[in-house]
């Protein structure tokens, strides 16, 4: 090869190197101003929803995440850690105000220092998880805090990264927790940055649950909303107020004071005035969460005598709910998938012998719908629940949210209820009714119960602001008021967390269900719809792996070596052809 040709090749290589460096620099400069990522997963796993992007882009100050998922722990928690880091990077890609650090809470040198750190994290709202870890010395116990503390300006809130879901295998719990990462991170940011909270009202005056029975959920709702208790008492402006809509003409209109109302387990009849007030609240676009017991049954009478008769309640709501598209049935639903309760089954010496036996009148509801309100939700406990049906009303979309299990029995009221039911094993042949719907979401344009039923003077009086048809709105009807009711401590009487059962010491998903329901009803951001994203577990077929193990081992070890050898032979042949031909021509 001539000297001139060598110089040309060298010059060309230098030019290509400089060109590559310039292109890389330009791409980095462009990338700093114009951001894009390509998500090639079928379920868009690494793409944020539009609602999340909009919220994150509006952040005007640093949101700092202290994530306590660092250290040596099993593969499942490592995966949760890595996915959390990926998700936070995705958030930060849309706003540099998202910042984070990963911390090992067990990194302290002494046991005393570690204990102090653990206690501080618990006080700040993070729940520890005990793990059994295998090491060289056998098994050891390890405490992990799968959560984070999130700070914005002067506020700090805990964030649980591992979602509790009873009765589900660890792999599915982990996958669901990863699936919920975007929603949970966006949700905690929303709670931190919210300035003006929408107003929500608990309706009172009809024997609804007392304040101490809804104290925990009231506090939880208080993170999103201004929560009040309102007694309608026939007052036309208890849920509404008059407001000037045209300052020039002084024109007035009636508007709602609240975004949504909660009617929690009333036990007495509603007057027509109160029904009218609620009806017109809904016609003006208000939302409602109805938690109604169609049949009256309590554990108090059972504990005194061991038996009772459950009878239908007369609350004067059937025509109103029927008009909106739902009918509550006067029955009780029994389910073999039920909450155990303590019951005396005999005596040991002078002491009563107590056992936990499933009480079929307390069904455990395992959400199976893909709707964002209940998707991946923990099991929900209920007490003396009834079924409901939907009515074919036009312009109303109906979505069932909760059902009983396949082992269901329906008993029409009046129902004889006795603790003797638990003394003998159940006859599964008696529990063959299909799963019963117990909660439904209604969305659309509703017709007023009082259309064509009120006097012309009231209908045309602007002070009442009567409407025959609603704006587009939503409501949720649940055929059990106990779903929102927290227990009181059996000896000290203080309210316990909603969903926690002090007898079995299990925590159910009641609080999350209520929060999700209200968020879906009230929020216009669409953030709760993030939960509809579905991550698939692409697990290996263990049987097929075992059968074809040797075949794939050979393929993965021999074929790469053969490809390298073939590539080397081809390269040698090409180089020989390239550099020997000119020499032969020169000799000729």
578 Cβ contact partners less than 8 Å away, ≥ 6 residues apart: none
pLDDT of residue 431: 93
Domain boundaries, the chain: 7-36, 50-191, 200-532, 543-583
pLDDT by residue for the chain (588 residues), tens only, comes to: 567 666 777 777 788 888 888 888 887 777 666 655 555 555 555 678 878 888 888 888 999 999 998 877 777 788 889 989 989 998 998 889 999 999 988 888 788 888 898 899 988 888 888 766 555 555 666 788 889 999 998 889 999 888 776 656 777 777 778 888 888 898 899 888 887 889 999 999 999 999 999 999 999 999 889 999 999 999 989 999 887 665 666 666 889 999 999 999 999 999 999 999 999 999 999 999 999 999 999 888 787 788 899 999 999 999 999 999 999 999 999 999 999 988 876 666 677 777 888 999 999 999 888 898 998 788 999 999 999 999 988 889 999 999 999 999 999 999 999 988 888 888 888 999 999 999 999 999 999 999 888 767 677 777 778 899 999 999 999 999 999 999 999 888 899 999 999 999 898 999 999 999 999 999 765 667 666 555 454 555 556 767 788 888 888 888 888 888 898 888 888 877 776 655 444 454
Over its C-alpha atoms, the chain yields an Rg (Å, rounded) of 32
pLDDT of residue 537: 47
Distance of CA 570 to the CA centre of its chain: 58
In contact, 93 and 37? CB cutoff 8 Å: yes
How many C-beta atoms surround the C-beta of residue 528 within 10 A?
24
CATH of domain 50-191: 3.40.30
512 Cβ contact partners less than 8 Å away, ≥ 6 residues apart: 377, 378, 499
How many C-beta atoms surround the C-beta of residue 415 within 10 A?
20
CB-side neighbour CA atoms (13 Å) of 458: 13
- % the chain with pLDDT above 70: 85
Q: Is the dihedral of CA 491, 495, 500, 506 positive or negative?
A: negative
How many C-beta atoms surround the C-beta of residue 490 within 10 A?
9
pLDDT of residue 134: 59
Nearest in space to 377 (alpha carbons), one of 522, 221, 499: 499
Helices (H), 45-168: 50-57, 75-92, 111-123
Please state the pTM of the whole predicted model: 0.75
pLDDT of residue 52: 85
**Spatial distance between the Cα atoms of 479 and 321, rounded to a whole number of angstroms:** 12
**Spatial distance between the Cα atoms of 484 and 398, rounded to a whole number of angstroms:** 22
**Spatial distance between the Cα atoms of 337 and 494, rounded to a whole number of angstroms:** 29
């Amino acid at each position: 090869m001539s000297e001139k040709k060598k110089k040309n090749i060298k010059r060309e290589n230098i030019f290509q190197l400089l060109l590559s460096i310039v292109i890389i620099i330009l791409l980095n400069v462009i990338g700093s101003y114009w951001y894009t990522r390509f998500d090639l997963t079928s379920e868009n796993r690494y793409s944020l929803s539009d609602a999340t992007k909009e919220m994150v882009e509006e952040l005007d100050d640093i949101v700092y995440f202290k994530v306590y998922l660092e250290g040596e722990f099993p593969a499942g928690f490592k995966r949760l850690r890595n996915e959390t880091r990926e998700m936070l990077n995705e958030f930060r890609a849309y706003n540099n105000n998202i910042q984070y650090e990963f911390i090992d809470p067990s990194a302290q040198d002494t046991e005393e220092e570690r204990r102090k750190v653990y206690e501080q994290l618990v006080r700040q709202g993070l729940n520890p998880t005990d793990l059994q870890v295998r090491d060289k010395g056998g098994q050891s116990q390890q405490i992990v805090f799968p959560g984070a503390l999130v700070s914005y300006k002067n506020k700090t809130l805990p964030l649980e990264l591992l979602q509790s879901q009873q009765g589900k295998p660890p792999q599915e719990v982990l996958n669901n927790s990863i699936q919920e990462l975007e929603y949970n991170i966006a949700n905690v940011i929303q709670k931190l940055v919210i300035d003006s909270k929408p107003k929500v009202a608990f309706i009172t005056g009809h024997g609804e649950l007392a304040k101490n029975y809804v104290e925990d959920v009231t506090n939880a709702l208080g993170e999103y909303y201004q929560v009040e208790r309102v007694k309608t008492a026939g007052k036309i402006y208890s849920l509404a107020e008059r407001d000037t809509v045209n300052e020039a003409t002084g024109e007035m209109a009636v508007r709602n004071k609240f975004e949504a109302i909660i009617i929690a387990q009333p036990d007495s009849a509603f007057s027509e005035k109160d029904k009218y007030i609620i009806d017109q609240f809904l016609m003006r676009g208000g939302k409602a969460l109805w938690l109604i017991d169609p049949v009256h049954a309590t554990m108090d009478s059972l504990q005194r005598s061991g038996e009772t008769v459950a009878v239908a309640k007369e609350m004067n709501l059937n025509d109103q709910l029927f008009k909106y598209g739902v009918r509550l049935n006067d029955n009780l639903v029994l389910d073999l998938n039920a909450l155990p309760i303590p019951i005396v089954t005999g005596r040991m010496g002078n002491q009563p012998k107590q056992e936990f036996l499933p009480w079929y009148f307390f069904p455990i509801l395992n959400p199976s719908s893909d709707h964002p309100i209940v998707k991946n939700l923990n099991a929900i406990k209920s007490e003396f629940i009834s079924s409901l049906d939907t009515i074919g009303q036009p312009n109303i979309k109906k979505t069932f949210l909760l059902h009983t299990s396949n082992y269901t029995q329906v008993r029409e009221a009046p129902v004889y209820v006795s603790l003797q039911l638990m003394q003998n094993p159940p006859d599964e042949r008696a529990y063959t009714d299909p799963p019963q719907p117990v909660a439904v979401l209604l969305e659309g344009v509703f017709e007023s119960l009082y259309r064509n039923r009120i006097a012309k003077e009231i209908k045309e009086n602007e002070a009442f602001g009567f409407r025959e048809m609603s704006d587009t709105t939503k409501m949720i009807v649940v055929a059990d008021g106990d779903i929102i009711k927290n227990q009181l401590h059996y000896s000290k009487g203080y309210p316990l967390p909603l969903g926690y059962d002090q007898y079995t010491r299990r925590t159910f998903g009641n609080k999350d269900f209520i929060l999700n329901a209200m968020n879906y009803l009230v929020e216009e951001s669409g953030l709760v719809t993030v939960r509809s994203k579905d991550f698939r577990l692409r697990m290996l077929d263990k049987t097929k792996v075992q059968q074809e193990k040797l075949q794939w081992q050979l393929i993965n070890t021999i074929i790469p070596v053969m490809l390298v050898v073939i590539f080397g032979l081809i390269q040698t042949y090409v180089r020989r052809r390239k550099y020997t031909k000119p020499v032969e021509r020169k000799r000729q």
